[in-house]
Amino acid sequence: MAPRLKLQTLLEEILGSENAYFQPGANVTMEYPAVTYSVDGLSSEWADNLAYKQEIEYQVVYITRDPDDQTWLEIGRLPKSSFQRSEVVENLYHYYFNLYF
């Protein structure tokens, strides 16, 4: 299974639903709570001018209507996950992470 599909499955398990969206377009209607994620970078380790290890960096955003929802903490516990910030947009609580996977 491709790494992104493994991440998709992992995020769906954390959510307990299929509301995980990869690079959703403007025409996607999301159900909440939800996670959106997109490619944000690439980390490469080099030897002899060859990349021998690469990890994709994703920006992961957990979105919920409930200000007391603690699910975002589960995302923060993932290996190589780094909490960046939170904000409220149109009465939805957003929690931003950078995640290497």
Q: Domain limits at 63?
A: 3-100
CATH code, domain carrying 24: 3.30.2000.30
Please choose, from the candidates 77, 95, 93, the residue with its C-alpha nearest in 3D space to the C-alpha of residue 85: 95
Q: What is the pLDDT of residues 42-88, one digit of tens each?
A: 988 899 898 888 899 999 999 999 999 999 999 999 999 999 999 99
Confidence of residue 2 (pLDDT cuts 50, 70, 90): confident
Task: Find all residues with CB under 8 Å of 38, minimum gap 6, and list them.
Answer: 22, 23, 58, 59
Q: Tally the domains of the chain.
A: 1
Amino acid, res. 99: L
Instruction: Find the DSSP H helices in 35-99.
Output: 71-76
Lookup: tokens for 72: 């975002």
